[in-house]
């Protein structure tokens, strides 16, 4: 390169360097932060009301837009649930488990029971336009289970790939739920669940975070950010005793996690999965919803 060419090249580079920051500034000032709303969901079992329409009426009175039923017997309830939701601003969020057997069972009969019943629930979830069916690959109490080895992880990813593709063909997904170590040592961290989603290599395999089980995490914010596009569902409870958010006082702080959900533009639901200490469940739910909406605004 002669001196003339060198100068030309260098000046062109310098010009680009001068332009680039300006371009970045104008981009960042003109781009509006997307506003992400908090979409709350209740599990069916914790919602006050004798019948499903009663429960949905109660949810509507609090502006709740997601409904999370259990997966047990779901195939026989598709018509009932569709009918009850007709004309309401409430959709089925995720489906909570409900299958027999488990994916990492050593016993082929137990594994076969999982495959059959899980696919039946996934099919019904698709008909209900649910975001997905929540599953845990193996709880600590489920034995005999495949050993916790590299081969088992490869097997898990391959099995999830097939299940994820099936879920996609039904219009839904399967959602891996990490739990605390006392319940499921195999899968504890949101980031690990997200890495399994990536390695399962199917858009039908997603993961979630449960604020109760996220006592395993060192940071709610980092946990959700690590899941990024794989994050499909969130569970919430109080953080000391797994009762209603707010019933454990100051420890019930979700703003760090909510900040991540906002930054991610998280499009799905934050669903109540918890008990209730108070005898007045309706009033406690109302207070919990107000607390979460306040913390979402602050996040
Ligand atoms: Mg949960």
Per-residue model confidence as pLDDT tens digits over 125-182: 999 999 999 999 999 999 999 999 999 999 999 999 999 999 999 999 999 999 999 9
What value does the mean pLDDT take over residues 28-54? 85
Task: Give the class (CATH, top level) of 37-298.
Answer: alpha beta
Query: ω before 144 within 30° of 0 (cis)?
Result: yes
Question: For the chain, what are the domain ranges?
Answer: 1-29, 37-298
- The strand pair at 174-176 and 205-210 is best described as parallel
CA of 215 to the centre of ligand 1 (A): 12
CA of 38 to the centre of ligand 1 (A): 18
Q: Which regions of the chain does DSSP assign to beta strands (E)?
A: 40-43, 66-68, 91-92, 94-96, 132-135, 174-176, 205-210, 231-236, 270-272
Is the pLDDT score of 15 beyond 60? Answer: no
CA of 242 to the centre of ligand 1 (A): 10
Do 189 and 217 form a contact (C-beta atoms < 8 A)? yes
CA of 297 to the centre of ligand 1 (A): 24
Tokens of 274: 């918890």
CA of 273 to the centre of ligand 1 (A): 6
Do 130 and 80 form a contact (C-beta atoms < 8 A)? no
Tell me: the pLDDT tens digits for 208-222?
Answer: 999 999 999 999 999
Do 238 and 245 form a contact (C-beta atoms < 8 A)? yes
Cα–Cα distances in angstroms (integers) from residue 286 to residues 48, 272, 275, in the given order: 11, 12, 14
What does the pLDDT read at residue 35? 86
CA of 210 to the centre of ligand 1 (A): 5
CA of 83 to the centre of ligand 1 (A): 27
CA of 274 to the centre of ligand 1 (A): 9
Listed in sequence order, the DSSP H helices in 86-231 are 108-127, 150-169, 190-200, 220-227
CA of 180 to the centre of ligand 1 (A): 10
CA-nearest of 219, 227, 236 to 292 is: 236
């Amino acid at each position: 390169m002669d001196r003339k060419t060198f100068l030309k090249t260098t000046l062109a580079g310098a010009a680009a360097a001068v332009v680039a920051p300006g371009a970045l500034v104008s981009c960042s000032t003109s781009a509006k932060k997307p506003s992400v709303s908090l979409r709350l969901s209740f599990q069916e079992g914790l919602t006050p009301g004798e019948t499903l329409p009663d429960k949905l009426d109660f949810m509507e009175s609090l502006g709740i837009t997601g409904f999370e039923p259990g997966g047990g017997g779901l195939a026989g309830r598709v018509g009932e649930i569709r009918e009850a939701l007709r004309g309401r601003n409430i959709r089925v969020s995720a489906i909570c488990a409900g299958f027999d057997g488990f994916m990492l069972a050593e016993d082929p009969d137990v594994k076969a029971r999982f495959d059959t019943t899980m696919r039946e629930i996934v099919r019904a979830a698709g008909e209900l336009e649910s975001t997905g069916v929540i599953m845990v690959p193996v709880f600590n109490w489920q034995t005999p289970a495949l050993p916790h080895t590299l081969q088992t992880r490869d097997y898990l990813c391959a099995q999830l790939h097939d299940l994820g593709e099936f879920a996609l063909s039904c219009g839904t997904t399967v959602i891996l739920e990490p739990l605390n170590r006392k319940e499921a040592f195999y899968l504890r961290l949101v980031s690990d669940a997200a890495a399994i989603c990536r390695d399962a290599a199917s858009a039908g395999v997603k993961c979630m975070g449960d604020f109760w089980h996220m006592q395993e995490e060192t940071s709610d914010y980092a946990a959700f950010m690590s899941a990024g596009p794989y994050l499909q569902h969130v569970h919430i409870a109080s953080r000391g005793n797994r009762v209603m958010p707010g019933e454990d006082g100051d420890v019930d702080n979700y703003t760090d996690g909510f900040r991540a959900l906002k930054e991610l533009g998280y499009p799905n639901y934050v669903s109540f999965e918890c008990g209730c200490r108070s005898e007045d469940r309706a009033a406690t739910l109302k207070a919990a919803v107000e607390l979460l909406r306040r913390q979402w605004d602050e996040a």
